[in-house]
Structure 1
Amino acid sequence: MGVDNRQIQTAVLDDPESDDPVVCPTDADELDEFRVEFDGTTFWCGVLLGGCGGQLLTRRGNVRVSHFAHFPDPDGLLPECGRHSRGVASADHLYVRTATQAWLRGQGRTPRYRYIDQDDAPAGSLVEIELDGHTLLLHMDPTTPPDWDALKAGDIILGPGVPIDHRTLVRRGYVHRVKFVSEGNQRVMILGTEVPYVGTDWDFELTDCTIDEHGRLITPVVTRWEATRAAQPQAPVPQPRTEQAGGPVQIGALTRLIYQAVQKKETDAARQLRDTARLQLPRCEGQALEHLRRAIDHASNWIQQQDRARHRLFDRLDEAVGYGHDRDVSTLIPLVKKLLLTDEAATPQEAAILQAAEAFLEEALRRAARERRAARERRAEEHRREQARRAAAEEERTARRAAAREERRLRREAEDQKRENEPEAQALDRKTRNRAGGRVQSITGRLRREALSTAQRQELVEELVVAAKDAGDILSAGEQEKVNEWTAKVAVPAAEPDAPTVPLPATRPPSQPDTITAPVTLPTQLVPAAAAVRGALKKAARERTSTSWSRLEHQLGSALPSLNNSERVQVLVQVDRSTADNQPLLSSLLAAGDPHFAYQYYRHVLTALGLDAPDDDEDLRDVIEADAEQVFTDRRPR
């Protein structure tokens, strides 16, 4: 929120006649800190501020900015306050004492301050500092022009926006300036020195400056300027002819200087040289007169163009401030200052435009800084919210995983409990039926794959019927159908009177053999491979990671030769043959890391070991994940 100049922003402390100023913070939170800092201190509409001398209070703003306000006058007896300037700059003349008193006393001076009150000037327009017979005079208001010849024994310092014409600046060689910036509830004075064609140098501290024996303010810029002036004597400048002229002006040199000033775009120098040339016209004739007139016309035309450009530039600056175009204002202010370096000093109207533009730009920069700070805070808040959302989502996912693991654990415990509660005979019967189911799959596989004689086929079918009878409800509908098909195809004596028979199905084409076998004994050449795979799976269990056949082959190298799918099944059956019935299979780690192998061939491993294998792939996947998680938990060697 910007400063509202309709509110009182400055006051003095403790007494209406005080010259100890203070600025009220405009931010509500900063005002709270301000009240704590100045607890027990009274604020006054000081007479040195042009105020009524009445007591002030601080008023906290919620919609408007915080500010000072007069105490209520219920009786209407207090005089009306005629104070005009109420912004933060209205007390700058009082901050001159705050900024300079300790510095001057450190140099052995005894300063005395006078705030000169004039009827036609605002309060604090002139500040006079008396220094043991010498005087420093500060002009703080542009509407009060300095009298450069009135003060001979001291020095003049110009406040913000106070103009000086270029001729006076060139004649004096330099002029000092001051400006004020806000720091908290105080105003800080900054000192600078302006030099012709260069501008104002603000890059030094007050402690770098001194007051000489003549009462002059000596800054580092003045020291450098005097050293340069002593080392490089100035070249003679043509002067207009007067009755006291020391000698004639060289017309040729004057003409060349006019053209050089125009070429270098030194507007003020071109004006002076043109005016000098006009005074020389009466004493010229012939070709010299013609050359001088052309030079004067050339300079006049160019100066007119510069004047029009100057007028347009100030109009554009004034318009940009009026429309609030801060980017245009920031671009135009340097152009205006550059123009004033090579031309006449700003008129009071131009100085007012420039001062308003600088104040506007300063406020725009503060506003932009506040907006950037607010944007950073918004981004930080959005980042915090996003982090919190991600943390909540991750916590929810973790909770779901934990709930799923807990559910699987409870299911396994229930199954284990159920098995423990079963009579031993029922447990043995279940294991027998599982093995019988494995024999059914093995026999039907041999019947499909192998070329058998009639007697061999009949013998296998007899074994199949017995195995199917022992398996009972362990067999799936598809497996029972295959048993019925082979029973009907081969006429065999019934092992049981109620052996089921169905019509003989068509034989499977030779091009679609099932190559998966799981013999009771592992072929000799696969025994080392089974041992290597068992060790690799135990290592994976300790590392709590799943694996795959390709990873095992890369890990084991020559210890694991290339195997077909039937041989892989045989190896895994051998790996988990010694696994207890109530323990998960080590081979579940391979099934968890290789879904294709799991869906296509892992069922054969489960069946060969006498374990249930769900028909649905998703159910099978759940079983594999639960077993793998349990393997990680147990981490026991197999």
Structure 2
Amino acid sequence: MSVDDEDTRKVQTAVAGRAGSDDPVFMPFDAEDFDRFLEHYPERSFYCGILLGGCGKRLSAKRYVDKKCHFAHHPPVHCKRTANSESSADHLYIGKALQLWFAQQGQRGVNPSYRPSGHLVGEAVDLVHSAGRHVLRVQMSRRSKAEWEAADTELAGLREHVEWLFGPDSMVANWQMERLGYALRVQCRTVGTTRSVEIGTQFPNKPVEWTTLSECRLSERGITTPSLTEMHRGVRGEFQRADRPPYSAAPVAFPLAAKTVAFTGAVRAVESPVSAAAARIIYHADVQPIGSAVVRAQLSLPADAPVPEYLRVYLLQGAVLSSLALPDKPDVKWLISADGIRLIEKAAAAMWQGLSSHPAASKSKPPKDRAIATTTPARHAADVLGVLAAVIDQTSLALDQEDMDSVRQGARELERLLGTELPRTDALRARQELQECEAWIAERRDADEQRASESLTSCLDWLDTEGDCLAVQELRRRIREAEDLSEEAGDHFWLEQEERLEQWQARLAVELNRPSRQEIRALGSIVRRALELVVQSKQVLSWEQLAEWAEPKLAALLPEDKLAVLVEADRETPESRPLLSAIVVESNRQRPDPAYWDVLFELEREVPHETVKRRNWRSVLQAHGIV
């Protein structure tokens, strides 16, 4: 089944009034909240909003007791909207809440822009205020650092002041904290029949401090939360580090020619950050530009770059020579920053003769002597011991910092060194260090597998509560996530988890085999012709009998598809005539098929009260001439 044919009729959010409205509506999950929800919208004017990425068609509000209430499209479905969950309208809730807040702060005429330049609906929201001088960008979707910085530069060229609010999925707040010492966050949470907007203040290595918009105020520099105080140069966190300078001068950076700078002998710096939030890692390495001498220098590499192995030669990609100069520190420190690295094969490494014949690249570099050394046979044994000492230092540091990649790198280097001729005492040291690395890796692997198992349980629990409301595309993504976690769980992938995952895999297989909208229409035509013949014979029949007589495929349909087929069968029935679906009955022939009442609702016909439903149905049969 193609993406166009996927069933996207179950959605938790809509807009009210018209298709282009920015008035968001959230459907509460519980039947008890459903009636209270409809009290606010007696006209039931719900749409799959354009600003939700939807088709603009009208939606029906569905009330259920045994599963979650939700909105549904009228079949056939032509909607390609992909975000259907309870958070899928959060950008509208946030935009409306900020618009009201700005008005309360004396800023009139502030209107949210839900499609800023370069963004799709739902990815960002812009609010221009203070007579057009300031802009608040709410970043909802994920962005890389380069994309965020480019957007910030673009906005700064248009407005005097740019302020950022970061949504739960933006993945940018850490870079803002590096710049300002704090970041402002925004989130929505379900409260009764709506979604409540909260503003958070995030400081490095601290949990986000959440508050309501009513507790915030507008200053010349933007939103001021209770956790922030106004300072002479803007807003600064009360808990900002005392040793942070009041500002950082823009660094001087000289781009280095592409494919000209290589390095080897990289050792992670002791002062380099090890937290998961760290964006870059500092290494000490022997560096050589083509045609120049080898120097010992500091390298700054992205945290997600491959960990360089001590004995290999690498090429720097996107390298710049940069400095950090502060007003109160006249001395200048230089380092080489790069966007990434690439391993250089032995033949290509000859272009950097100082490195290809260098002790580190030839397993003969004394770590404490950073001067360039030759590899004469007389020094070979001592140099190997020097490399061993450097690797042991590196792995010991990696163990202390709990850096898995560096520990694995150290273990590989120790295995290689144990394959050389080492003195017995030094071989014992290397073997003990290797065993410590292997034991730590095994312990961490077990802990990682246990965490993956716990995440898998959470994922399966989420599917059990949310899975029925997911479109097939989203359901497939969630199940793939669970499958990935099951592989990561290793020995902690339990039988009960396997059985639950298999149930959802089977459910997905059923969903993928559901009929397309064209097939629904075709089945509807078949059912209509069959029911017209049955009406002429003054009879009723069950769904099972209808499937046996008219089309065997009907027997295997899910309840939602069965309803869609019956709706199609009665779509052309004039309003003055009773629905043909009324003659489809339960097996005991005492009541109509439960889908009949939903057909009435979907075709916007009056649904009788529970107390008179059966009498109403009998009158419909009489209108068909069936007594």
TM-score, structure 1 normalization: 0.40
* Structure showing the higher strand proportion among its residues: 2
* Structure showing the higher helix proportion among its residues: 1
Specify which structure has the bigger relative contact order, considering alpha-carbon pairs within 8 angstroms and separated by 6 or more residues: 2
TM-score, structure 2 normalization: 0.41
